[in-house]
């Protein structure tokens, strides 16, 4: 698993590439998102377009991250999950807990609308 960060529309986008299938991967991702939250990042977009597999540990990280950000008045969103990842998230009900955007453009447009209000 590889992780990178960039800014898009004034929000941190965390790009994850590869499999999130080991305890080490989950811990690294949890620490990465926690560090951003500690730096006052309140909305974090997790781009899962290039994730080929995720296990229950990865799902726990998503729940944890949403919870931490929510307590701080923020939120976690998911960008561009591929069909496999989307199906996993949908089956376990994450689509009701975390906002999922099918494209980065859709997310950026929403961020722009929120900033104008």
Q: What's the rounded Cα separation, in Å, for the pair 96 and 58?
A: 17
Q: What is the CATH number of the domain that holds 36?
A: 3.30.750.24
C-alpha dihedral (99, 97, 21, 32), degrees to nearest 10: 70
**Residue-wise pLDDT tens digits, 44-81:** 999 999 999 999 999 999 999 999 999 999 999 999 99
- Residues making up the chain, counted from first to last: 117
pLDDT computed for residue 113 by the predictor: 76
Give the total number of structural domains in the chain: 1
Domain of residue 40: give its range. Answer: 2-116
**CB count in 10 Å sphere of residue 94:** 20
> In the 8-state DSSP scheme, what is residue 55?
-
Judged against a pLDDT cut of 70, whether residue 116 lies above it is answered with no
pTM (global) more than 0.85:
yes
């Amino acid at each position: 698993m590889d992780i990178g960060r960039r800014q898009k529309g004034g929000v941190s986008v965390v790009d994850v590439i590869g499999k999130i299938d080991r305890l080490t991967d989950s811990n690294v991702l949890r620490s990465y998102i926690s560090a951003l939250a500690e730096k006052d990042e309140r909305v974090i977009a997790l781009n899962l377009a290039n994730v080929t597999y995720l296990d229950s540990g990865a799902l726990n990280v998503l729940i944890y991250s949403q919870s931490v950000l929510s307590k701080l008045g923020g939120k976690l969103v998911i960008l561009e999950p591929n069909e496999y990842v989307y199906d996993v998230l949908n089956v376990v009900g994450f689509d009701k807990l975390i906002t999922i955007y099918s494209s980065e453009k859709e997310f950026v447009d929403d961020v722009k609308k929120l900033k104008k209000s």
